[in-house]
Amino acid sequence: MSQRPPPQVPAEPQVASGAPSRTATGLENGSSPGAGSRLTPLGLAWRLCVSFLAAAAVLVPLFVWGGVDGETIGSTWARLSFFAWLPAFALHAFLYVVRSWRFAVLLPAEHRPPQRQMLSVCAAHTLATFVLPAKLGEATFVLYAGRVAGVPAAASVAALVVSRILDMASVFLALGVACVAMHQAGAWPEHAWFLPAGVALLALSAGGFGLAARGDSLLAALRFLLRALRLDDTRPGRALAGRVDSLESALRHAGSPARLAAAAALSLLAWLAVFLFCAILARGLGIGAHIGLLEAIFGSALAMITSLVPLSAFANFGTFEAGWVGGFGLFGVPGDVAVATGVGLHLVQLAHVVALGLLGHAGMALWARPGAKSVKQN
């Protein structure tokens, strides 16, 4: 009798030690899209120099136009008392908690990290987005969430995209409500355009919230382009289509009704904290007693919108002040006061972001989940 050969056991694929594995999403474990093309120190230094020059190109004309000098900035800062700063700082810290909750809500339950990890990632990510030029820091959320908590890249990207859409919709909503409310109150009759502008902004806000619910529709254009160029049957096209499918599924999950409703509510709470932060500091820095909450919402919301320009400079300096001066100038705030209070508020914000961001990096180091880098990107 001949012996039956032993069953063949499929050999496990050999993976080099330390080499990242790839999954169905086509993304490396714990990495962000484009992580392979990291900036060199020289390249980052060059971008920062360009960013500082861009900030100066906007700030210098504002300083000259407003007649602002170092003495003006110093006297403005001297007006800010400890009791005006303390509630502003508390609101800023509370804002981080709310935003970390929102990120957690938008992530799948099976990939949702503990709150302390999410808060640390949020603080470190905010620091990166604030100090790096041209919104380069946004990608760090995907990187940090993957490295610290093992969150899949597709889920992180989806949570970030939906969060940013909700932010824009919330700002438009606040700006629209402020315009309509000021018109109804007859506070600034010389600005008759407040009502039509407010209605248009409310419509934009509704569209933004609708887009957050269907974030996956943003990928329809890319899918159409692949088919139109007949790339969907090529190897690179199929690889890209696989990534699109993964991200589309994650966006659809993040935009589900229950998650979106909770995230939208948290977004409104977060922006209420932002506007109160700006109103308290603006009043403490001496912007004028005639500036109420509605005016503060309008001026600070306009500054937030101008600071969202993709090519904004270091820490949004220049673009933020331009919106601040333009917004509060409509309410009779002199140019020098508007520039000085805008720069003063911005410096306070920068100090908060740096301090909280460093704490976030410390938290990521202390609370990183063991083996988080090797979590599969489902």
Residue 44 pLDDT > 50: yes
On the CB side of 91, CA atoms within 13 Å amount to 20
User: Do the domain assignments include residue 243?
Assistant: no
Q: Tokens for 330?
A: 């409509």
Residue linked to tokens 């007006």: 79
Residue 17 falls within a domain, yes or no? no
pTM of the predicted model as reported, rounded to 2 decimal places: 0.76
**If pLDDT is split at 50, 70 and 90, which confidence band does 52 have?**
low
Q: Give DSSP secondary structure letters for 297-356.
A: HHHHHHHHHHHT-TT--GGGTTHHHHHHHHHHHTTT--HHHHHHHHHHHHHHHHHHHHHH
Return d(Cα 326, Cα 333) in angstroms, integer.
Answer: 10
Q: Tally the domains of the chain.
A: 1
Does a structural domain hold residue 36? no
Query: pLDDT band for position 103 (50/70/90)?
Result: very high
Within a domain: residue 33? no
54 vs 314, which has greater pLDDT?
Answer: 314
The answer to whether residue 192 is domain-embedded is yes
Q: What is the pLDDT of residues 324-378, one digit of tens each?
A: 999 999 999 998 889 889 888 988 988 899 899 999 999 998 887 765 553 444 4
The pLDDT, as a whole number, for residue 107 is 92
Bridge partners for 28 per DSSP: 22
Whether residue 178 is contained in a domain is answered as yes
In a domain, 51, yes or no: yes
Domain limits for position 53: 41-214+255-367
Mean pLDDT to the nearest integer, 3-32: 40
- 316: its two tokens: 């949004």
pLDDT of residue 48: 55
Any bridge partners for residue 22, and if so which?
28
Mean pLDDT, to the nearest integer, of 46-66? Answer: 53
Q: Is 89 part of any domain? A: yes
Q: Provide mean pLDDT across the span 293-313.
A: 83
Out of 76-85, 203-212, 349-358, least confident range: 76-85
